[in-house]
Amino acid sequence: MSSKKVTIKHIAQAAGVSFSTVGKALHNDPLVNKETMKKIIRIAGELNYYPNLLAKGLRNKKTETIGVIFNDLKNPVYSEIIKAIEEILNNLNFTMLLCDSNFQEKLEKKNIVTMLSKDVAGIIISPVNEKSENIQLIAENNLKAVFLDCTPDYPGISYVYVNHERAAFLATEYLIKNGHKNILLLNGPCGLSSAQHFLKGYLKAFSFYGLIPADNLIKSINISIAGGRSIFKTLYKCKKDSGRTDFTAIVTLSDLIAMGTYKAARELSLKIPEDFSIIGYDNIFCSEILDPPLTSVNYPKTITGKTGINMLIDQINNRENKSKTIIIEPGLVKRDSVKKIIDRF
């Protein structure tokens, strides 16, 4: 009914005390008389009082809000990380301000400035690129931050990094050990840090096993089912037309891309793994349900989220300035999308 919001002044009036006494009572200040306190708390309840967090934040120059900045909120990897973060935040009575940078540095910058403007206590960010000026922006403004999916080489920056290079190595190695040597890499956009790390691991596996990767077998595409489907179809067409870009297996940065190739395969009446082998990365919830179940390198999503937010909270509470760095090792989950080729190894 009453459209006016209840403030400590209203409570003060109703309780017949000053508003600063109310303030103290609401904070359980032991200096306040037991009885007055009870009364104040009772009245606050009756009036359905809730504090104005903007005023509180302005006064304290600090809010109980955490900013989260990712590149694709639709990607199940981030959904799971977000869920994990939210759970912890909820226990701490923190809230989450969520932004999507959509792989654009400019948007990312805007998002960071928003976080700054809103005086968030800290941010968790999976940046577009670990070398962009945006990370400097974060550092310069003393914005507490934990980075995901990259290893920024910047003083005082903390990150929890799921080793993408290792993931690619593991995936590629597994294919090589199964006898594949023409391995198509379906990577993410080349500006993306994760994609850069992933490429390194792919190349490392090749050189480790004394193999030479073919230039035309390395593709940068959008991280999506549509992206995977479309590149596979054009590549398959090339293959039929000219016999070029031949591959027996695929490694990809994302299970989503892998799912695109599943879709294309069905449309082209191709069999996995008989016609081509594929190994994904992320191990999203549906990968095991596919037919054949997708072999994938697991991205420990919940652990990453929880570790990241805990690191950030530590950074916020203890005002230690030393940066912390955690590397999480991904693990191969063998399922049925890779075929052993006999003529090698």
Partner DNA sequence: TTGTAAGCGTTATCAA
Partner DNA sequence: TTGATAACGCTTACAA
Please give the residue ranges that form the binding site for DNA (CB under 7 A): 5, 7-9, 16-21, 23-24, 26-27, 31-34, 36-37, 49, 51-52, 55-56, 58-61
27 interacts with, out of a second copy, DNA, none, CB within 5 to 8 A per kind: DNA
86 interacts with, out of DNA, a second copy, none, CB within 5 to 8 A per kind: a second copy
- Please, which residues bridge with residue 183 across strands? 249
On whether the CB atoms of residues 172 and 251 are closer than 8 A, the answer is yes
On whether the CB atoms of residues 286 and 256 are closer than 8 A, the answer is no
x-or-dash string of contact with a second copy, 87-116, rule CB under 8 A: x--x----xxxxxx------x-----xx-x
DSSP-assigned letter for residue 99: E
Closer CB to a second copy, 34 or 59, in the complex: 59
Q: Using DSSP, state whether 145 is helix, strand or coil.
A: strand
Tell me the C-alpha distance between 141 and 273, whole Å: 51
Beta strands in the chain (DSSP E): 65-70, 95-100, 122-125, 145-148, 158-162, 183-187, 218-220, 249-252, 277-282, 295-298, 325-328, 331-333
32 interacts with, out of DNA, a second copy, none, CB within 5 to 8 A per kind: DNA
How many other CB atoms sit within 10 Å of the CB of residue 240? 9
**Binding positions for a second copy, 25-54, rule CB under 8 A:** 48, 50-54
Closer CB to a second copy, 161 or 262, in the complex: 262
Report, in Å, the least distance between residue 110 CB and a second copy: 8
Residue 154 burial by Cβ neighbours in a 10 Å radius (0-12, 13-18, 19+): middle
Q: Which of 118, 244, 334, 344 binds a second copy (CB under 8 A)?
A: 118
Tell me the C-alpha distance between 164 and 196, whole Å: 9
Closer CB to a second copy, 167 or 256, in the complex: 256
Residue 314 burial by Cβ neighbours in a 10 Å radius (0-12, 13-18, 19+): middle
**Binding positions for a second copy, 282-341, rule CB under 8 A:** 285-286, 288-291
38 interacts with, out of DNA, a second copy, none, CB within 5 to 8 A per kind: none
Closer CB to DNA, 142 or 207, in the complex: 142
70 interacts with, out of a second copy, DNA, none, CB within 5 to 8 A per kind: none
28 interacts with, out of a second copy, DNA, none, CB within 5 to 8 A per kind: none
Record the tokens describing residue 20, joined without a space. Answer: 């600063």
124 interacts with, out of DNA, a second copy, none, CB within 5 to 8 A per kind: none
Q: State the DSSP H helix or E strand holding residue 320, giving kind and residue range, or none if neither.
A: none
Closer CB to a second copy, 79 or 151, in the complex: 79
Amino acid at 287: S
73 interacts with, out of DNA, a second copy, none, CB within 5 to 8 A per kind: a second copy
Report, in Å, the least distance between residue 93 CB and DNA: 13
Closer CB to a second copy, 53 or 327, in the complex: 53
Closer CB to DNA, 8 or 99, in the complex: 8
List the one residue out of 275, 290, 181 whose CA is nearest residue 232: 275
**List of residues 6+ apart from 338 with CB closer than 8 A:** 174, 175, 178, 249, 273, 277, 278, 279, 295
Q: Which of 21, 65, 129, 158 binds a second copy (CB under 8 A)?
A: 65
DSSP state string for 146-170 = EEESS----TT-EEEEE-HHHHHHH
On whether the CB atoms of residues 184 and 174 are closer than 8 A, the answer is no
Tell me the C-alpha distance between 274 and 268, whole Å: 13
Which residues here bind a second copy, judged by CB under 8 A? 1, 3, 5, 48, 50-55, 57-58, 63, 65, 72-74, 76, 79-80, 82-83, 86-87, 90, 95-100, 107, 113-114, 116-119, 140-142, 225, 259, 262-263, 285-286, 288-291
